[in-house]
Structure 1
Amino acid sequence: MTQLHFNLDMNFLKDSILNSNLDHVVKSTVVLVLNEYMKKERDEYLNTDAYERTDERFDYRNGYYDREYMLSIGKVNLRVPRTRSGEFSPTVFEKYRRCDQAFALSMLEMVINGVSTRKVKNVVEQLCGEYVSKSFVSSLTEKLDPIVNEWANRPLNTEYYRYVYVDAMYIKVREHHKVVSKAVYIATGLNEGNRRDIIGLKVSHEESYEAWHEFLNELITRGLQSPQLVISDAHSGLKKAIQKVFIGTSWQRCTVHFKKNLIEKLPRKGMNDVKEELKRIFDAETPQDARKRKEEFVSNHQDNSKMEKAINNLEEGFDDAIQYLNEPLAYHRFIRSTNSLERLNQEVRRRERVIRIFPNTQSAFRLIGAVLMDYEEEEQKKRPILRRDKKE
């Protein structure tokens, strides 16, 4: 290992520390050490001291060149030694590459966690005293592309997800100098170990049967086996795509969305007791109990003409809304709605509100994918703690 020896003027050093800005002292010390380290490395590489004549020499010193280098403490100016052949390369830059990576990853983490590129730029300037453009921060996020793509296209045949949740949300994207609305498709799955994973992400032009069919087919191509139950809202294109792609799979209509749709059909006044009756239907533990409560509800209110639309909608969507009752009781509250997916959407919205308009579709996919990866990782860290608390 290279040994460094320094001859320092202690009075000069004390005066520098007492009378200078501490940041400047730290940077100057780092520059001194790194410059000396690179000089000693060149000596070892040449296997000869300066001005020494020897037959073992196979290259010659060729002065120095200046190089700016960004570390976590900010940018420093180094004097890099070189040789005549140009084959010598100091290991300093390799050794300190991790500092550059940590610096870049810190900026990426700020962006992913909802800090605007403008604010990231300001933070970096405050910490490092160096100007960093918004475009530089934005270009850094492109480093996420291979990571997000690998995650979004990973095989799904290593797990069996018996319950799959799907939903779409809308974002604004700049395209051909126009701002357009695009649909973000997200799918999650609950596996046999009761772990919830994000298994699908896609940004498309619109929420349609064709787009949903393509999205679900991609999940199958990646190895997803047909689940027992798919939980979603009642978008007509989505319902049709589920029937086509997942043969033999039941569809569970989100009860939260369904109850809201029914309540919207009720008269505005004096309906509190009626609303409670509706909710009670979906609190049943068996399909038979739910059907009995539904029949009682219809019998109680069928003579009220103002209730006709609500009753018709209840009759039409009832069977699709109680499919979860055919599953084990312990899962009912988890599989009767898409609430878990709604919480995930809210996390994406938090970041989307900062950006407002994505510069292009790829940037939307990249950052939403990074947000989902981060969210999934954090949620999985919490689960062992929750299980331990339950045992206690």
Structure 2
Amino acid sequence: MSMIDKQSRDERRRAQRAGVEALEASGALDDLYARIDVGEVQFDGRDGLIQQLIKAGLERGLQAELSEHLGYDKGDPDAAAFPNSRNGSSAKTVATSVGDVDLAIPRDRDGTFTPMLVPKGSRRVGGLDDMIVSLYAGGMTVRDIEHHLVSTVGTEISRETISKITDEVADEVLAWQQRPLDSFYPVIYLDAIMVKIRDGAHVRNKAAHIAVGVDMDGIKHVLGIWIQATEGARFWAGVCAQLANRGVKDVLIVCVDGLSGFPEAVEATWPESTVQTCVVHLIRAAMRFVSYKDRKAMAAALKPIYQAVDADAARAALDAFAASELGKANPHSIRVFEDAWTKFVPFLAFPPMLRRVIYTTNAIESLNYQLRKVTKNRGHFPSDDAAVKLLWLAICNIEDKRARDRAKERGRGRGEKRVAEGRLVEGQITTNWKQALAQLAIAYPDRINPYL
């Protein structure tokens, strides 16, 4: 633990101790301690001390709100001079993060009192909504959340209510999906994860595509999430058109995982952009049917192809590999490169530092790995919007958790161990970006210089 963390912890403990000592000195805890000693007080659970304190605090606050509304305090001898007056109370049960609490909601005779502490129609207080959204973002289903709340805090909330709570973030997701973007991104990565979504009477596998853009400062941003409803160029034309409508005027390189129809869509939207197939995905596809004993030799044999100095050298290396015994035994590996050749060779025109940036979509695959952990517990999603909502919430949840972990370690010296993970994607800086940007400026001077 760093010195700053230790000081913060010690200060918090001193403040808490000082507060308890002040209460003890006032005698306010004497009766409570006596009841604890004889076992009359239960701290948590149904009707425990914590629930009683919440009930007392809320009801006291509601009475204060009513007094302000009426213009006089309860028991005021001049109450008859005021036009409106108290009119008893009504019972209401609200769900809190420590269980259900029964409240007496005060009323006025004219029926004009509108409480703010526990609004009319509200059945949840104390951050319970935030707890439900957090559980949902962590991958729990509505049924799981319902059971979790009953078994842990004793609060019964229907699945319909839980769904409504999570649906309240739909407007935020829509605003995020439609937010304005930068006019220029040097590199955009596109990759997908498969999710099961109900389509009418059937559950189908659909691809949820996630776009990550690298801005001029090398900072990564999640640009959007799209569920592929149609195949090929038609779908990607819609994605590119949406990005263009949100302000993206030009993209230098779009790195994709062998997506069909994308080159045509990019050409229609950004005619001068280069579509680059992820080399790592290409290698994986080439080794998919290679026997285990030959995998090491295959990996070594493919290196001269994707590490070639130019397209001609790569073609010669591929031909040499095809003529070898290992190549003849694995025709599928050769066919993978030949089928993707036109999307692969643009990579070979770039210098080494820039190749490292566009070599792979790993920048987005680490994100997809975390999202798969969230979605694996679900049988299927009821709609495309539900899938997008969960993926967006999961991204926010993961980034927030990592930010909290980093904040705890802030101030540690160089010699002290840090275990907090860096940013998942949003705000992460691309490795060796300055050198890559310099090489991009040489390769695309007319297009990149106006944004430098």
What is the TM-score of this pair, normalised by structure 2? 0.71
Q: 1:354 and 2:377 equivalent?
A: yes
1:149 CA displacement: 0.9
Query: Which residue matches 2:267?
Result: 243
Q: Deviations over 1:59-103 (max 9, x none)?
A: 122122222223333221222222211223344326xx9x83621
Further displaced range: 262-271 or 235-244:
262-271
Listed as ranges, the gaps of 5+ residues in structure 1 are 1-7, 388-392
Q: Deviations over 1:301-334 (max 9, x none)?
A: 5376827775566456445324234445333223
Q: 1:189 and 2:213 equivalent?
A: yes
Query: Which residue matches 2:63?
Result: 39
Q: Distance in 2 between matches of 1:9 and 1:130?
A: 29
Identity of aligned residues (%): 21
The answer to whether the Cα contact below 8 Å between 2:97 and 2:126 also exists between their aligned partners in 1 is: no
Q: Distance in 1 between matches of 2:320 and 2:314?
A: 10
Q: Distance in 1 between matches of 2:290 and 2:104?
A: 78
Q: 1:135 and 2:146 equivalent?
A: no
The answer to whether the Cα contact below 8 Å between 1:66 and 1:79 also exists between their aligned partners in 2 is: yes
**Match 1:367 to one of 353, 376, 390:** 390
Query: Which residue matches 1:223?
Result: 247
Give the direction of change, closer, same or farther, for the CA distance of 1:101–1:243 in structure 2 (3 Å limit). farther
Amino acid at match of 2:178: N
Q: 1:323 and 2:383 equivalent?
A: no
Q: Distance in 2 between matches of 1:385 and 1:232?
A: 20
Q: 1:62 and 2:87 equivalent?
A: yes
Q: Distance in 1 between matches of 2:173 and 2:301?
A: 46
Give the direction of change, closer, same or farther, for the CA distance of 1:42–1:264 in structure 2 (3 Å limit). closer
Query: Which residue matches 2:439?
Result: none
1:39 CA displacement: 3.3
Q: Deviations over 1:343-390 (max 9, x none)?
A: 322222222211121112221121122223444566787258999xxx
Query: Which residue matches 2:43?
Result: 22
Q: Distance in 2 between matches of 1:102 and 1:55?
A: 39
Give the direction of change, closer, same or farther, for the CA distance of 1:221–1:90 in structure 2 (3 Å limit). closer
Give the direction of change, closer, same or farther, for the CA distance of 1:39–1:320 in structure 2 (3 Å limit). closer
Give the direction of change, closer, same or farther, for the CA distance of 1:77–1:237 in structure 2 (3 Å limit). same
1:11 CA displacement: 5.8
The answer to whether the Cα contact below 8 Å between 1:171 and 1:181 also exists between their aligned partners in 2 is: yes
Equivalent residues in 2 for 1:231-380, closer than 5 Å: 231-263=255-287, 272-284=296-308, 286-287=309-310, 291-292=312-313, 294-299=315-320, 301-302=322-323, 306=328, 314=337, 317-318=340-341, 320-327=343-350, 329-375=352-398
Q: Distance in 2 between matches of 1:309 and 1:15?
A: 78
Q: Deviations over 1:83-128 (max 9, x none)?
A: 211223344326xx9x836211112111111223333223212332
Listed as ranges, the gaps of 5+ residues in structure 2 are 1-27, 407-421, 431-452
Q: Distance in 2 between matches of 1:357 and 1:16?
A: 49
The answer to whether the Cα contact below 8 Å between 1:253 and 1:321 also exists between their aligned partners in 2 is: yes
Give the direction of change, closer, same or farther, for the CA distance of 1:55–1:226 in structure 2 (3 Å limit). same
What is the TM-score of this pair, normalised by structure 1? 0.81
1:210 CA displacement: 0.7
**Match 1:100 to one of 125, 132, 137:** 125
The answer to whether the Cα contact below 8 Å between 1:173 and 1:359 also exists between their aligned partners in 2 is: yes
Amino acid at match of 1:85: D
Give the direction of change, closer, same or farther, for the CA distance of 1:34–1:14 in structure 2 (3 Å limit). farther
Task: Report the 3-state secondary structure (helix = DSSP H, G, I; strand = E; otherwise coil) of the residue aligned with 1:227.
Answer: strand
Q: Aligned-pair RMSD on alpha carbons?
A: 3.6
The answer to whether the Cα contact below 8 Å between 1:358 and 1:364 also exists between their aligned partners in 2 is: yes
Q: Distance in 1 between matches of 2:400 and 2:30?
A: 51
Q: Distance in 2 between matches of 1:71 and 1:308?
A: 63
The answer to whether the Cα contact below 8 Å between 2:95 and 2:155 also exists between their aligned partners in 1 is: no
The answer to whether the Cα contact below 8 Å between 2:99 and 2:153 also exists between their aligned partners in 1 is: yes
Task: Report the 3-state secondary structure (helix = DSSP H, G, I; strand = E; otherwise coil) of the residue aligned with 1:19.
Answer: coil
**Match 1:112 to one of 128, 133, 137:** 137
1:221 CA displacement: 1.1
Q: Distance in 2 between matches of 1:208 and 1:270?
A: 34
Q: Distance in 2 between matches of 1:267 and 1:12?
A: 72
Q: Distance in 2 between matches of 1:211 and 1:298?
A: 35
Q: 1:198 and 2:222 equivalent?
A: yes
Further displaced range: 119-128 or 321-330:
321-330
Q: Deviations over 1:281-311 (max 9, x none)?
A: 3235x43xx6435424524653768277755
Give the direction of change, closer, same or farther, for the CA distance of 1:294–1:363 in structure 2 (3 Å limit). same
Task: Report the 3-state secondary structure (helix = DSSP H, G, I; strand = E; otherwise coil) of the residue aligned with 1:343.
Answer: helix
The answer to whether the Cα contact below 8 Å between 1:34 and 1:92 also exists between their aligned partners in 2 is: yes
Give the direction of change, closer, same or farther, for the CA distance of 1:315–1:68 in structure 2 (3 Å limit). closer
Query: Which residue matches 2:414?
Result: none
Q: Distance in 1 between matches of 2:200 and 2:324?
A: 56
Give the direction of change, closer, same or farther, for the CA distance of 1:33–1:177 in structure 2 (3 Å limit). same
1:263 CA displacement: 4.1
The answer to whether the Cα contact below 8 Å between 2:193 and 2:372 also exists between their aligned partners in 1 is: no
Count of matched residue pairs: 374
